[in-house]
Amino acid sequence: MKKLAAVFVLFLGMIFSSQAQNLSELSAVDAVTGSPKVLGSMVSGKGIVLIFHSLDCPFAKMYESRIKALKATFQNQGIAFALVNPESGTGEADQMPLRSFIDQSGLNMAYLIDAGQAWTKIFQITKIPEVIVLAQGVNGLEIKYRGALDNNPQAESAVTEKHLERALNQILRGESPTPGQVRAVGCNVRTY
């Protein structure tokens, strides 16, 4: 029985190790630069916030100023930010509106194209905007928080729970975010 338990623990360790390694190796085209980005190389400090986003989602538009404020607050503390679009192609005609959005919005971050929705599937994203916070763990990149930015997408002035901000502050203090997941509200991701 002990041997069976040891084999099971070893098997689980290999699964989690390979998943963490796979997260680091994920790549996507950045619409801003037109070049591929590898997720592991984008995490140089304390972690990265991936915000699943679409130009067609009104909820994403409502969060623009909050995303800018979060980036301004946490970028200098070692947290990187990137938008991920699961509904765009990688052609030049698909990249232009995303590049224009970054230029006009002032968000000034990578805008990754999730071609084939590989990232969406791996992270099990169902809403836009939905965030994933990744940080280095024992076995490589680990999901530390997933879900909503806060508890009121429609009225920033009525927000009473800043879920993402709390999670990032906890990560910076070396703590595990609690809760580690909050249900995201927004547009449904169109799957292909």
- Each domain of the chain, given as residue ranges in start order, spans 2-188
The percent of residues in the chain predicted with pLDDT above 70, rounded, is 89
pLDDT in tens, 96-111: 999 999 999 999 999 9
Tokens of 46: 């304390």
Q: In CATH, what class is 2-188?
A: alpha beta
List CB contacts of 83: < 8 A, sequence separation 6 or more.
50, 51, 52, 53, 102, 107, 109, 110, 111, 112
Which stretch, 15-19, 133-137, 164-168, has highest mean pLDDT?
164-168
pTM of the model: 0.87
pLDDT in tens, 73-92: 999 999 999 999 999 988 88
What is the per-residue pLDDT for 192?
Answer: 65
Decide if pLDDT at 121 tops 50: yes
